[in-house]
Chains A and B, each alone.
Chain A
Amino acid sequence: MEVRDLTKTFGSVTAVDSLSFTVEPGQVTGFLGPNGAGKTTTLRMALGLITPDRGTTTIGGTPYAALPRPATRVGAVLETAFHPGRSGRDHLRVYCRAAGLPARRADDVLAQVGLTPAGRRKAGGYSLGMRQRLGLATALLGDPRVLVLDEPANGLDPEGIQWLRGFLRHLAHDEGRTVLVSSHLLAEVEQTADRVVIVGAGKLVREGSLAELRAESVGTVLVRTPATAQLTTALTGAGAAVESTGPGALTVTGLTTEQVGAAAFAAGVELHELRARTSGLEEVYFRLTSGAEQYAAAGGAAS
């Protein structure tokens, strides 16, 4: 999937500004950015729902709207949309018919997302998690190789988020599908994504593998020792910033756990605990996107 020079203006607001990126096949790509960064508009343009002012999106070389039987190539969950009076199963059967798929696909995908027991109930009575599953089931009807999901974790409870992560991992890593998943939180895709595309205010901020991003992140390490003074000297000598965070506890910035352990061993210091506190990815993401919110809080107040 290739996005080239996509641009869209709503009134005086440029929602998406000359955005270009690539989604690699067989990988999970996290599409990240603060709220209002233009993620949804980009995805809707990529899928032919919004006409861009400029630019193109192709999937395997063809624009979405020109794909023959697009439901069998790309599945998308952009919002959880259904008629509240129609059962989940009937909802799926409608789209089976429209896509020219056999009606039994409705039962297949219900089972796939674990919604079979609720399939004959009206969708209006579904919980948020069930609605999200019904949306996923709709996207999976045509057994597409590419999945596009817009903020799928929004509004899910922790259990739902965990299920979703596992399900996406399964779709991508076990079944080899290409997944593009948008989120405003890095943590949400950190465990699932291979690559990230980060946008801010409609512009591309960063595109690359999560490993690359991790490499430039500066993590912090928590270490507990009875000999804080001695260890501080050793770590400072190794180029780290050391901060005391309680009796016998130090927070080290600039070294990996391995490097801290090696320094302590070399200095002959006894350790009681040694663990990575943050990966630093969140900080990198925040630095990349700060100030790029469409409606940044005055004074740049960070939450």
Chain B
Amino acid sequence: MSGVVDLVRAEWTKLLTTKVGYWLVAVGALMAAGFTALFTAFAGEQGGPEGQGIPPVGTEAYGSLVAGVPAQVVVIAVVLGVIGTTQEYRHRTATPTFLVTPRRGRVVVAKLLAYAVVGLVLAVAAVAATVLVATVYGGARGGAPDWTGDTVGTLLRSGLAVVVYTVIGVGAGALVRNQVGAVVGSLVYLFVVEGIIASVPATADAYRWLPGGALAALTGDGRGTDLLGTWEGGLLLLGYGLVAAVLGAVLAVRRDVV
């Protein structure tokens, strides 16, 4: 499979020779840092629309809240993955790409592998930014989280979610092919559609089976009460990643490149 290794490296070269990848990782890290700073700044304050406050620094609840912050970066992860595949259609480089590698399934497999690693880089950046801000700023406010046991577990699962969402993005991009459509579509889905499904009583039950519900179960951010268990949620999320990957690969192989 030396061919696939070459293709994975080609994908990395593609990403490293344009700016979008650097930007998205930077934005992801900034997002994580920003959310952590926000939670830390207002830690201990009561209020909010439903009366629930942010737990004070130094408590276990604050630790697990902050440890879930990297999971917010899944939005960036999806966009990163979507751009990874739709770029080829937007700039019509699918033609030279598939000319060099007529076995198109290999190209998609290489993209999935390459972007799993890229997603890992994004996850590490987000987790590092979170830990840095929570430790320094939280410490300055009187109680950095103690990075042990549950907190670290939540942190790692949040990072894992970022990786899986990157892979889902690659699959979704291969499915839709139109870059603007795929980016807008996934953002609308993540921010609007899942929110509505989760809050409408008739459909709320289905939410736990959706990627968002699985993500919530995996990272334990406490939204909704009847979610799947942590690892069931994680497996379901991985399942979505696999389905997106397989669909993307099959369609890329079967559709004409015109």
Contact = CB atoms under 8 A, between A and B. Distances in A.
Contacts of B95: 49, 78-79, 81
Interface residues of A, number: 32
Interface in B2-29: 2-3, 6-7, 9-10, 13-14, 17-20
B99 interface: yes
B103 A90 contact: no
A70 B99 contact: yes
Contact of B92 (A70, A79, A95, A98): A79
A94 interface: yes
A138 interface: yes
Interface string B227-258: 00000000000000000000000000010111
Interface in A95-125: 95, 97-100
B258 A95 contact: no
B223 interface: no
A98 B10 contact: yes
Given A70-B100, A100-B2, A83 B257 contact: no
A47 B100 CA distance: 10
Contacts of B258: 44, 49-50
20 contacts: A44-B258, A49-B98, A49-B257, A49-B258, A65-B103, A70-B99, A78-B95, A78-B99, A79-B92, A79-B95, A82-B93, A83-B18, A85-B18, A87-B17, A90-B13, A95-B97, A95-B100, A97-B9, A97-B13, A98-B100
Given A44-B258, A70-B100, A95 B10 contact: yes
Contact of B13 (A50, A84, A93): A93
A49 B18 contact: no
A59 to B, nearest CB: 11
Contact of A85 (B13, B19, B96, B97): B19
A83 B101 CA distance: 18
Nearest to B106: A98
B102 interface: yes
A64 interface: yes
B87 interface: yes
Contacts of A84: 91
A240 interface: no
A97 B6 CA distance: 6
Contacts of A294: none
A51 interface: yes
Given A82-B93, A83-B93, A84-B91, A47 B99 contact: yes
Interface in B95-147: 95-103
A78 B100 CA distance: 13
Given A49-B95, A49-B98, A97-B6, 12 more contacts: A44-B256, A48-B98, A50-B256, A79-B92, A83-B87, A83-B91, A83-B93, A87-B17, A93-B17, A98-B10, A99-B6, A100-B3
A98 B17 contact: no
Contacts of A78: 95, 99
A214 interface: no
A285 B253 CA distance: 38
Contacts of B97: 95, 98
B2 to A, nearest CB: 7
Contacts of B3: 100
Interface of A: 44, 47-51, 64-67, 70-71, 76, 78-79, 81-87, 90-91, 93-95, 97-100, 138
Nearest to A123: B91
Contact of A90 (B17, B94, B256): B17
A270 B112 CA distance: 80
B80 to A, nearest CB: 16
A49 B252 CA distance: 11
Contact of B17 (A49, A66, A94): A94
Nearest to A45: B256
Contacts of B100: 70-71, 95, 98-99
Contacts of A51: 254, 256
B102 A98 contact: no
Nearest to B17: A90
Contacts of B103: 65
Given A48-B102, A86-B17, A98-B10, A81 B2 contact: no
A64 B17 CA distance: 29
A79 B98 CA distance: 13
Given A81-B92, A100-B3, A76 B99 contact: yes
Nearest to A83: B91
A293 B55 CA distance: 74
A50 B9 contact: no
A138 B96 contact: yes
A86 B18 contact: yes
Nearest to B9: A97
Given A94-B14, A98-B101, A50 B257 contact: yes
B112 to A, nearest CB: 15
A153 to B, nearest CB: 19
A138 B2 CA distance: 22
In this complex, which of B18, B96, B98, B256 has the most chain A Cβ atoms within 10 angstroms of its Cβ? B96
